[in-house]
Amino acid sequence: MHSSAVFLIEFGAIILGLGLLGRFAARFQFSPIPLYLLAGLAFGEGGLLPLGTSEEFVAIGAEIGVILLLLMLGLEYTASDLVSNLKTQYPAGLVDAALNALPGAAMALLLGWGPVAAVVLAGVTWISSSGVIAKVLGDLGRLGNRETPVILSILVLEDLSMAVYLPIITALLAGAGLAAGSATLAIALGVAGLVLLLAVRYGRHISRFVSSDDPEKLLLVVLGLTLLVAGLAQQLQVSAAVGAFLVGIALSGEAAEGAHNLLAPLRDLFAAVFFVFFGLHTDPASIPPVLVPALALAVVTALTKIATGYWAAKRAGISAKGRWRAGGTLVARGEFSIVIAGLAVTAGIEPSLGPLATAYVLILVILGPLTARYTEPVAMRLVARLGKPSPTAHVPAERAASPAAPLETVDDPDTAGRS
What is the model's pLDDT at position 179? 56
What is the model's pLDDT at position 406? 40
What is the model's pLDDT at position 404? 39
What is the model's pLDDT at position 417? 42
What is the model's pLDDT at position 47? 58
pTM of the model: 0.70
The full 3-state SS of the chain, as one line of letters, equals CHHHHHHHHHHHHHHHHHHHHHHHHHHCCCCCHHHHHHHHHHCCCCCCCCCCCCHHHHHHHHHHHHHHHHHHHHCCCCHHHHHHHHHHHHHHHHHHHHHHHHHHHHHHHHCCCCHHHHHHHHHHHHCCCHHHHHHHHHHCCCCCCCCHHHHHHHHHHHHHHHHHHHHHHHHHHHCCCCHHHHHHHHHHHHHHHHHHHHHHHHHHHHHHHHCCCCHHHHHHHHHHHHHHHHHHHHHCCCCHHHHHHHHHHHCCHHHHHHHHHHHHHHHHHHHHHHHHHHHHCCCHHHCHHHHHHHHHHHHHHHHHHHHHHHHHHHHCCCCHHHHHHHHHHCCCCCHHHHHHHHHHHHHCCCCCHHHHHHHHHHHHHHHHHHHHHHHHHHHHHHHHHCCCCCCCCCCCHHHHHCCCCCCCCCCCCCCCCCC
What is the model's pLDDT at position 11? 81
Round to whole Å and give the CA distance between 99 and 305. 8
Q: Tell me the pLDDT of the chain (419 aa) as tens digits.
A: 567 787 788 788 888 988 998 888 878 766 687 788 778 877 766 556 666 666 677 778 888 888 888 788 778 777 676 677 677 778 998 999 999 999 999 999 999 998 989 999 999 999 998 878 888 888 888 888 889 988 988 988 887 777 677 767 777 777 655 555 566 667 766 766 776 677 777 777 888 888 888 889 899 999 999 999 888 877 776 667 777 877 887 887 788 888 888 888 888 888 888 778 777 766 777 788 889 999 999 999 999 999 999 999 999 899 999 999 999 999 999 777 877 887 787 777 888 888 898 889 889 988 998 999 999 999 999 988 887 554 444 444 433 333 433 433 345 666 644 43
Round to whole Å and give the CA distance between 32 and 136. 9
Question: Amino acid identity of 311?
Answer: W
Residue 5: burial class (beta carbons within 10 Å; 0-12, 13-18, 19+): exposed
